[in-house]
Amino acid sequence: MSFKTMPLRQALETDLLDALSTDYDLFDEYLDTLEIRIYDGDTVLNEFLDLHDLYTEQNIAGIVVNGNLSVHAPIIDFELDTYSCFLLVSGSLDCTRLAAGCAEIIVGGNLTVADVMVAYYNHGTIEIGGDLHATLLIIDDHGASIKGKIDAATFCRGWQIPAADYSSWKSILLPEVAAQLLDEDHYLFAGDVRFLKLLQDGTLIFKPGLRHISANNNPAPQVVGFDSIKPLLQHLPAWYEDYPMALAEKMPERDELKFLLFDGTTVLESLDLDDPAYFGIVVAGDLIVNGNILNENTDGACSLVVLGNLKAKNIIVGGQLIYVTGYVAVQELLMGIYNHGEFTSHSYVWAPVVIADDYRFQFEDFAGVKVLDFNGDDDKEIIKEKVIDELFDQEEWFLYYSVAREGIPLLKPIVQRSVITLQDFSRLLNAPLFGPDHTRVAINEDGWHIALNRGGEIDEDGEQVPSSITAIHTDDEKNFFYYIREDNTVGALVEDEDENWVSAPADMEDEVLKVFSIAENYVNRKITWNNKLKKTIDKDKLWQLIWMFRNTADETVFQGLAIAVFNRVLYAAEYPYAYIFTRYPEESEHRGLADSPYWLTGAALLDGLITAGLAGEITRSVPLSESIDDLNSVLDYYWGVNIQLHERFVKDPIDKLFMCGLNGMLMDRGGALLRLDAGVGSFIIAGMHVKDLDILNELMHPFGVFPKYFTDADEEEEAALKKIAEALKKAEIVALHAARIHQAQLWDYVYNERGDVRYWQEWIDDLKYQLELKGGTAALFRGEEDAPLMEPELDHWLSWCEKYEAISEECNIILE
């Protein structure tokens, strides 16, 4: 058909090529020799299109079709790395075969390929505005974009097609073609010129029936012994054994173990792993389960090894080995239960929700899976947001297997937003994540950066900054900016390829709505997180606590310091999110508050004291000599002294022995240098009068901070106390009652880590265990309604042990 030509330079001066992303500034010396072909209206071509030959031999930079294009032949690009003729079709395209390499191919409508579409290597672009219809789609490290539906069997060895039908060349190539093209590792690059030539020549390449994967083609299941299974598995890496299921080889009943083997791709309606007949199931190929893979016995269920890819609607397992060499694709829920099992995958994992209930998933880093902790408070909120309420008991939080077996959807439906209202926009900007002193707040999670800006401040040009919401996904490189238009509706901007903000085009409306909903979800999660961390502080006791650190005659000066510490703690209690991520981000990162926020007010108290010079932090990661100024600053404030260090501290960090020595020196002054233990590895130190330690402990413990007074132990005193302690482990009522007079001294040794620290920590654990044994069912059900009454002396000492247990879990105890 007839066409007209235009020099590339002239075409670039029009809007004809605006849809292309190629940087033609690099072509300056060729702009006058290269041409484009322009076909106006629907076009039919009968000749083979070699896109690289058109560029290199005919100086055709590209083909533009203002309409539909039908090519009764293949379209092949043989070049993977440099440049080939682009193809820009405003309508739909159909051809016999299509292979895209480095060329830029853009089709506004549908793409119909009689046989196969291939996109290879990452230097090209193919964008299909509508649906793809083909027998087979092959993506090999290429960023093809298909906005509509894919009506084809799919092949992909990477992430570009989630849960592709095939990922092994042997599965799709005719045996004679596989023998010709595949190397010894069964690998083929889709841009291999031999493969592309076969496509050009119309040679039969692929197995028939690739679009129809069904149970009709299942291999016959074989019941075999371990010796038949071992050769299939012994070369595979494993985390805790020589190879998957190697444990079976060492079992006494090894020769009696039975395995179910499927030698090839297998399609099942469901798979119940609560089958005592088999030690394991091995599928030497892909396993496709149209329904669920389940088991309820989480202490010894049937194992499953898939030497290929694994697909299922839901997978809820535990108590066995699940091992997959290929990818894992789950439509709804992937959940592992209990620590007697593990799930390993060596490729990509696609699942909307993955939950671990004391379970171990072994995924590759590139899988990019977020595993939700079933027992973590924050993740539990996300689980409740995504999973149907009927699946879990809402009080005891156990799983109803009967619901999972019903076949109903286990995930809540995603509500599709149709509009973004002004109320939606304002609700996010009024979220209680802002502190009283900030107009901006950001959320960074799962690759998303969500920025809320209330606006109102004046920028460098003297203009008032408008309120806005920005949503950026770092992996997708898609940036969205939401704002209020003059007509009081919500508008959206997107960032174009030149990093300019432009109005979101109409064809992105669904994505604009989707991304706003994503931002809304993250904000709502953080609101829940923030509200759970808010605390009511007894201000009188906090003020009393801070004033205990006063050691200056100038009350006015100290009052200023005390107010700063006081306000910091209250800020943490009232605005947890703002404290961690906006007001004090560096200190919060140092304390690990984003991951462990529940000691937030304690961290605020300690950092407030340190900032005010009322406490000091001495790291144990470097020699004490490097922190001598910080140490002497604290000693000077409280007692007006400075010390010279022993030569050992040129190499050694601060330790408990050093603190004992200092406190021995301070004893005549009635002073105590304390370690304010909040579970961190460093020594946060502050001074105090020994006579005030009881009230200090009473006021500090509610903040999760535990002052430790390290002093040397008297050997005779400790030996005598150990005899009493050993007698107590018999949990005899008379001895327990008599030992109450020693309880304060015992607490001193255990709590303040005196003397033989390891002994005292183990002793109190043993005592608690013996008390629980003695208490029997009364101890077992202690605290529950209708529990048997417990003997008062046992109850007293058990409460004493539990008090310390709760403290020790929050401390960094040094066993030396």
Report the distance separating Cα 516 and Cα 267, nearest Å.
39
Report the distance separating Cα 382 and Cα 372, nearest Å.
8
For tokens 């007010």, the residue is 601
**pLDDT for the residue 378:** 86
**pLDDT for the residue 176:** 96
Burial of 688 (0-12, 13-18, 19+ CB in 10 A): buried
**pLDDT for the residue 507:** 84
Report the distance separating Cα 293 and Cα 310, nearest Å.
11
Specify whether 488 is located in the same domain as 560.
Answer: no
Specify whether 463 is located in the same domain as 585.
Answer: no
Using an 8 Å Cβ cutoff, are 95 and 75 in contact?
A: yes
Specify whether 550 is located in the same domain as 699.
Answer: yes
Specify whether 347 is located in the same domain as 283.
Answer: yes
Specify whether 586 is located in the same domain as 497.
Answer: no
Read off the tokens for 521: 């979800």
Number of neighbouring beta carbons within 10 Å of residue 162: 12
Specify whether 521 is located in the same domain as 544.
Answer: no
The answer as to whether 47 is a domain residue is yes
Cα R_g (the chain), whole angstroms: 35
Specify whether 353 is located in the same domain as 400.
Answer: yes
Below-70 pLDDT ranges, the chain: 1, 816
By DSSP bridging, strand 501-503 and strand 616-618 are: unpaired
Specify whether 36 is located in the same domain as 166.
Answer: yes
The answer as to whether 139 is a domain residue is yes
Number of neighbouring beta carbons within 10 Å of residue 177: 20
The answer as to whether 209 is a domain residue is no
What pLDDT, in 10s, does the model give residues 580-628? 999 999 999 999 999 999 999 999 999 999 999 999 999 999 999 999 9
The answer as to whether 423 is a domain residue is no
Using an 8 Å Cβ cutoff, are 770 and 729 in contact?
A: yes
Specify whether 104 is located in the same domain as 145.
Answer: yes
What pLDDT, in 10s, does the model give residues 425-471? 999 999 999 999 899 999 999 889 999 999 988 878 888 889 999 99
Specify whether 235 is located in the same domain as 321.
Answer: yes
Domain termination residue (choose one: 533, 568, 595): 533
Which domain, by its residues, includes 348? Answer: 215-405
**pLDDT for the residue 267:** 97
How many distinct structural domains can be found in the chain?
5
Report the distance separating Cα 47 and Cα 566, nearest Å.
82
According to DSSP, the residues that pair with 361 across neighbouring strands are: 343
**pLDDT for the residue 461:** 81
Domain termination residue (choose one: 708, 726, 757): 708
The answer as to whether 421 is a domain residue is no
DSSP 458: B
Specify whether 492 is located in the same domain as 461.
Answer: yes
**pLDDT for the residue 21:** 83
Specify whether 697 is located in the same domain as 726.
Answer: no
The answer as to whether 412 is a domain residue is no
The answer as to whether 813 is a domain residue is no
**pLDDT for the residue 31:** 83
**pLDDT for the residue 284:** 96
100, 136, 149: which is closest to 120 by C-alpha? Answer: 100
Using an 8 Å Cβ cutoff, are 20 and 88 in contact?
A: yes
Read off the tokens for 139: 């993506």
Using an 8 Å Cβ cutoff, are 547 and 561 in contact?
A: no
**pLDDT for the residue 159:** 87
439, 504, 488, 443: which is closest to 467 by C-alpha? Answer: 439
CA-to-CA separations, 463 to 436, 454, 459, 476, 781, in angstroms, rounded: 22, 15, 5, 32, 66
Using an 8 Å Cβ cutoff, are 336 and 360 in contact?
A: yes
Domain termination residue (choose one: 466, 498, 533): 533
409 contact partners, CB below 8 Å, separation of at least 6 = 332, 388
**pLDDT for the residue 571:** 98
The answer as to whether 208 is a domain residue is no
